[in-house]
Amino acid sequence: MSPVDSIDAPTDTTERTERGTRAEGHVAAVRGAVVDVAFSGVLPEIEEALSVEWDRGAPLLLEVAAHVDTRTVRCVALAPTGGLARGVPVRATGGPISIPVGDGLQGRLLDVTGAVRDDGPPLPEMPRAKIHRAAPPLIKRNAATAIFETGIKVIDLLAPLPEGGKAAMFGGAGVGKTVVVMELIHSMVATYNGISVFAGIGERSREGHELLHEMKDSGVLDRTVLVFGQMNEPPGARWRVGLTALTIAEHFRDTKRQNVLLLMDNVFRFVQAGSEVSGLLGRLPSRVGYQPTLATEVAALEERIASVDGVSITAIEAVYVPADDFTDPAVTAISAHLDSMIILSRGMAAEGMYPAVDPLASSSVLLDPSVVGAEHFAVADRVRSTIAHYRELQDIISLIGIEELSAADRLAVNRARRLQRFLTQPFAVTEAFTGIKGCSVSRADTVAGCKAILDGECDDWDESDLYMTGSLADARGRRKT
């Protein structure tokens, strides 16, 4: 049997009651982010938090991951363990990691343990909540049938986001996932009547710094909670920071009865941190080297995002796709829980079609005539059919030229190219780089503009008239000037 296989620990109820759950032990071994702790009596339970009383200021927090034997537990550290020595006393807290929750978190930046990291004043006295809890039962959940308009044309038309559901943007490195998330924050938080919680999982320090200052400048920070587990932190912090942000969102949903917008960037880093932890614990890897508990860990995070009793948590996630391989086990595990999938294409990005959303691969459960309306559904279907026909003809065009196509095919190609350019859009968060003022477009204007292009109203327009513009009225105004 492997030394990391769990061994049943003593579970005598009388002994635990007499001692309490605050068992005391000491550090037995330190292996980077993994710490073994020896106890003389009853062992702490799996996922219980331990506090290391060392000489580095704040106590070091550990989480029990496995029972090594009848006296030793193996733990994952949530902060760097540099300077930790054997024999340092450790105290069991009696329960999972708990964090402060309440209105006092709005406008603040926290770490995985709920500690303030924005150099501001300390948090006021607030209730605490455990980060580990069960997902709401199915009978209490509300179906996500309302559309969460983003103002981004290609998303609202072809992959509408569900209010109270889960949506994710998938893409490889450098195709614009974080830019789209930042634009969603910019365009939606200001008009969103609720609380926003941003979880930075494995984020770069620069990205967190930019996000904090952008929210301050736009005046939306007072209704936003930022929770970061940065790229330079131990894997335990990156592994649990998503649960910390989700616990805060659940408090506003269940206790304050407020709708919550939960933004997570990047969920793949959560899976990656779990894989690191699994390897450090000595577990045998599964497919493509991922942890054997991949599906369970993803479900424990995703299934807690739900609408309950008419109050919703709406999740918008960014997911890195390693090597642009959409069959990667992490990608497939995450996508199984989503209502809307926005696929970012490297080919679209190479052509300068930003946002680089693939109109054919992206999908949403809300793209149904009973939800979006018959006209929206019909226009979206025609847009997809036209662009799909154009892609089928691209190989022929590259061989013999567009002049050799039939008149009907040439017309379809011209309209498809105009549609692709109309679905591009300047973003407010990229104004400093492009020099083009960002814009937000309503769903009705998007549908009307695509319908006009499909009906031939723009056949005599230059393609550049429709590129990086807002509504069709904006493009018409540009054409006149």
Report which secondary-structure segment, H or E, holds 27: strand 24-31
User: Around Cβ 126, how many Cβ atoms within 10 Å?
Assistant: 15
Strands 313-320 and 260-265, sheet pairing: parallel
| Strand locations in 305-404 (E) | 307-308, 313-320, 340-343, 363-364
Active site residue 203: yes
State pTM to two decimals.
Answer: 0.89
Q: Which of 194, 224, 225 shows the shortest CA–CA distance to 312?
A: 194
Contact 310/142 with Cβ under 8 angstroms? yes
Annotated active-site residue 204? The verdict is: yes
**Do the Cβ atoms of 450 and 379 come closer than 8 Å?**
yes
List the Cα angle 223/225/228 in 5-degree steps. 155
Bridge partners of residue 162, in order along the sequence: 147
Q: How far apart are CA 440 and CA 452, in angstroms?
A: 19
* Catalytic residue of the set 63, 183, 203, 297: 203
Buried b (16+ CB within 10 A) or exposed e, 167-193: bbbbbbeebbbbbbbbbbbbbbbeebe
> Is 404 known to be catalytic?
no
Among residues 108, 177, 223, 253, the one annotated as catalytic is 177
Going residue by residue through the chain, which has 481 residues, state the pLDDT in tens, using 9 for 90 and above: 444 343 333 334 333 433 444 789 999 999 999 999 999 889 999 999 999 989 888 899 999 999 999 999 999 999 999 999 999 999 999 999 999 999 999 999 999 999 998 888 999 999 999 999 999 998 988 888 889 899 999 999 999 999 889 999 999 988 988 888 888 887 776 667 778 899 999 988 887 888 888 777 767 788 889 999 999 999 999 999 999 999 999 999 999 999 899 999 889 999 999 999 999 999 999 999 999 999 999 999 999 999 998 898 999 999 999 999 999 999 999 999 999 999 999 999 999 999 999 999 999 999 999 999 999 999 999 999 999 999 999 989 988 888 889 999 999 999 999 999 999 999 988 888 888 898 999 999 999 999 999 999 999 999 999 999 999 999 998 888 7
The torsion region of residue 257 among left (phi > 0), alpha (psi -120 to 50) and beta comes to left
d(C-alpha 138, C-alpha 467), whole Å: 45
> What distance in Å separates the CA atoms of residue 339 and residue 182, rounded to the nearest whole number?
21
d(CA 394, CA 246): 45
Q: Which segments within 96-236 are labelled E, that is strand?
A: 98-100, 109-110, 128-130, 141-142, 146-148, 161-163, 166-171, 195-201, 224-229
User: How many Å apart are CA 264 and CA 320, to the nearest integer?
Assistant: 12
Among candidate residues 204, 216, 287, 391, the one labeled active-site is 204
For residue 322, what are its two tokens? 């390693």
Contact 71, 38 (CB under 8 A): yes
